[in-house]
Chain A
Amino acid sequence: MVSQFGFVLLFMIAGIFLVLLVLGIARILRPSRPNPEKNAIYESGEETEGTAHVSFNLRFYIVALIFILFDVELVLLFPWASVFGDKALFDDTKGVWAIYAGIEMFIFVFVLALGLVYAWKKGHLDWIKPSQEETNFKSPVPKELYKDINEKYA
């Protein structure tokens, strides 16, 4: 008889074995005719450009920060949920328990929601669009021509 940790080991071995098996079968069956198009990195049809080690726009971090706060605070609802459905407590108090615990949870979520409202009101959720700069370049083509074409093929 294997112990419970033995099952974990068995699952790991079986997982590795299955992956190797599937990849091995594919390798035996498929024809191998590489070309540069096929070897290119798949990026949803876009041509890849530059390295992957670039800084992302800082605004992603602000949104991520707000997300992580509200995401993880909900972990405090787990202990609440484990006692909320307690039948003995419910019967003992003739249902008052459910109202009491429910209201407490709503207060908790309400305070979190207030935080979200505040962040929204302060505009931290808005994606600031970069302002377009006017260039000094004088084009011989008048602007109206571009406008006409844009409207024609709009």
Chain B
Amino acid sequence: MFESSIDRIPDVFMKVPLVNFVLLATMLFVIGIVGVLIRKNAIIIFMSIELMLNAVNMLLIAFSSYKSDPNGQIFVFFIMAVAAAEVAVGLAIIVMIFRNIKTIDISILNKLRG
């Protein structure tokens, strides 16, 4: 019952068709895109971008399991590490803006015009 070890995991995955993973990842990805396009709060936009990246992570892991190829999972580690660096820079930019204008609503930022 519980002795099924780590190498059995691909079997479990196989019971769910690959297309389900692809559809779920695509849905999450589209939710992320829509979030980026319609929200005004910088933090929420930021979360939507993270959602997009995590959808990609899931897709990569699903493909990686189905192909029994570890490369996809290594890629996921890299995405996570790089996304953390991006988060740090992004939050730093948001903090910098908050210090200057005391809000993170990006519709206020319209100084740059032609």
Contacts and interface: CB of A to CB of B under 8 A. Distances in A.
Determine whether A and B are in direct contact in the complex, meaning some CB atoms lie less than 8 angstroms apart: yes
Interface of A: 3-5, 58, 61-62, 64-66, 68-69, 71-73, 75-76, 78-79
Nearest to A2: B1
Contacts of B4: 4
Contacts of B80: 72, 75
Nearest to A78: B77
A62 B88 CA distance: 9
A76 B79 CA distance: 10
| Chain B interface extent, by class | 10 to 19
Nearest to B95: A61
Nearest to B99: A58
B78 A76 contact: yes
A62 B95 contact: yes
Interface of B: 4, 12, 15, 73-74, 77-78, 80-81, 83-85, 87-88, 91-92, 95, 98-99
A5 B16 CA distance: 10
25 contacts: A5-B12, A5-B15, A58-B95, A58-B99, A61-B91, A64-B91, A65-B88, A65-B91, A65-B92, A65-B95, A68-B84, A68-B87, A68-B88, A69-B84, A69-B88, A71-B84, A72-B80, A72-B81, A73-B85, A75-B77, A75-B84, A76-B77, A78-B77, A79-B73, A79-B74
Contacts of A68: 84, 87-88
A73 B88 contact: no
A141 B4 CA distance: 79
Contacts of A4: 4, 12
Nearest to A82: B70
A69 B82 CA distance: 9
A63 to B, nearest CB: 12
A73 B95 contact: no
Given A5-B12, A72-B80, A73-B81, 7 more contacts: A4-B4, A61-B91, A65-B88, A68-B84, A69-B84, A72-B81, A76-B78
A151 to B, nearest CB: 41
Contacts of A76: 77-78, 81
Contacts of B78: 76
